[in-house]
A and B are shown apart, each in its own frame.
Chain A
Amino acid sequence: MYLPDFEYFNPDSVEEACQLLLKYGSKAKAIAGGTDVLVKMKKELLAPEVIVGIGQLSQLKKIEYVPGKGVVIGSGVTHNEVQNSKVLQEKYLSVSEAAHQMANNQVRNLGTIGGNISNAVPSADMPPILIALDTTAKIVGAKGERTLPLEDVFAGPNETVLEHDELITEFVIPDGSFTGSTYMKFGLRASGALAVVGVAASVQMEDGVIKDARIVLGAVSPVPVRAKKAEDFLKGKPAGEEIFAEAGVIASGECKPISDIRASAEYRKDMVRVFTKRALNKAANEGHV
């Protein structure tokens, strides 16, 4: 398979990239790892006349802890860089582990976290765990920058609120009071599968009581969604299998899955019940975020 001709730009900075995206508008597409855009071009789902390569911008390639701010993850880091990051392994092992569950090794060496989010596939593995940790996204455009909670970035399947000239430059996981978190993916194979259901949970435990919780469901709605009724139900309750099972039932009622080649809507709903319970149990008992 060959790609159609296009004009290619290799900007030296995010600002230059945004100016190019502004200039060419809907004719242009930014690519980082290329694992989504190039494949869509081969399948003739996308035909950009201009490609703006941002994969080698060093300013997007950091993972660092900034005291008072939190862990900053540049949008240009690959999934394997997220997985192998010492900072993340120490502070948010659940994020490192979630990155490892995406696709396969070869793809994880190319695909970036910014691409995974901007592509906004409902079954993507990174959004649930990042949303569960109250992550924000810094968005830079030709006319300025803005910061949004990550959950507000998604607008629908393959759609975000980003304008043509905007790029996500970094994600910030703020210092929080969560004591445990995890992402559990249910796919039809051990590796390389898209999530049938992906559930992220984070909890703040105090003397066996759940002070706060987040439950984020992937692959069961047009965008990753929080199971807010289940979260509210958990607050103030003692942690335990029965409470988590009940939260699972509530969360199952909060998603709107579709039936597709991988699973029926009914099955997905039931798997949300099961995986919410398991994820809460793991987050509450594992002793790390």
Chain B
Amino acid sequence: MANFVVDKNGIKRYLVTIKVNGNEYTKMVKANSLLVNFLREDLDITGTKKACEQGDCGACTVLLDGKPVNSCMVLTLSVDGREVTTVEGLASNAKLDIIQEKFIEHSAPQCGFCAPGILMAAKALLMNNPHPTELEVREAIAGNLCRCTGYVHYVEAILDAADSQ
């Protein structure tokens, strides 16, 4: 269990060290801190979006130790010592990930709010299954809702990314 200090109201604040997109951050958090809020508010890494906040929409999808999870349902304390990748971690050396390139090429995002989550779900898929079928792509992003209902271009872009990598 992480070290903690008790504030003047008797609330404990725990010291956690979490690797986000390759950088280690050490912060004090309360037990009720959720990973999505930790990323957005404590670290100011706001690419990860909040929408339903109950595990239905997938807007807050991040990779936790390489696996896609809804960061709105993860306690920050349970991530102490672990590794998180957000949408900001996809590009390296100012070069976009192939999935991001294909999202642009296919004009896949419409309003774009679901795009960070879908990018992370797609990234997780292609890391484990570099050449998925269309059904596997649809299944991989089934936990991500797009209110513009623009799923077709996302599926095409992800399939194209798989073919191009």
Contacts and interface: CB of A to CB of B under 8 A. Distances in A.
Given A4-B32, A104-B58, A192-B56, A38 B73 contact: yes
Q: How large is the interface on A (under 10, 10 to 19, 20 to 34, 35 or more residues)?
A: 20 to 34
27 contacts: A2-B34, A2-B37, A3-B34, A6-B31, A8-B75, A10-B1, A10-B77, A31-B75, A34-B73, A38-B34, A38-B75, A39-B54, A42-B53, A51-B31, A53-B75, A53-B78, A55-B78, A103-B55, A105-B140, A106-B61, A106-B121, A107-B55, A109-B68, A109-B69, A110-B70, A110-B73, A192-B143
Contacts of B70: 35, 106-107, 110
Contacts of A42: 53-54
Contacts of B75: 8, 31, 34, 38, 53
Contact of A53 (B34, B68, B77): B77
A7 interface: yes
A268 to B, nearest CB: 23
Nearest to A80: B67
Contacts of A3: 32, 34
Contacts of A109: 64, 67-69
Which of A39, A104, A191 is packed against the most chain B CB atoms within 10 Å?
A: A104
B30 interface: yes
Contact of B68 (A2, A7, A9, A106): A106
B53 A1 contact: yes
Contacts of A89: none
Contacts of B5: none
B142 interface: yes
Of B1, B32, B74, most A-chain CB atoms within 10 Å = B32
Interface residues of B, number: 32
Contacts of A104: 58, 142-143
A56 interface: yes
Contacts of A80: 67
Given A53-B77, A53-B78, 19 more contacts: A3-B34, A5-B31, A5-B32, A8-B31, A33-B73, A34-B73, A34-B74, A35-B73, A39-B73, A42-B53, A51-B31, A105-B139, A106-B69, A106-B70, A107-B55, A109-B64, A190-B142, A191-B142, A191-B143
A110 B124 CA distance: 15
B55 A6 contact: no
A105 B32 CA distance: 24
B11 interface: yes
B79 to A, nearest CB: 10
Given A42-B53, A192-B56, A105 B121 contact: yes
B54 A7 contact: no
- The secondary structure that dominates the A interface is loop
Nearest to A7: B31
Nearest to A11: B1
A35 B53 CA distance: 11
Interface string B46-77: 00000001111010010010011110111101
Contacts of A33: 73
B34 to A, nearest CB: 7
Interface of B: 1, 11-12, 14, 30-32, 34, 37, 53-56, 58, 61, 64, 67-70, 72-75, 77-78, 121, 124, 139-140, 142-143
Contacts of B121: 105-106
Given A8-B75, A103-B143, A192-B56, A110 B69 contact: yes
A191 B139 contact: yes
Nearest to A8: B31
B33 to A, nearest CB: 8
Nearest to B32: A3
B58 A110 contact: no
Contacts of B77: 8, 10, 53
A154 to B, nearest CB: 23
The residue among B72, B77, B78 with the most chain A CB atoms within 10 A of its own CB is B78
A106 B56 CA distance: 9
A284 B102 CA distance: 46
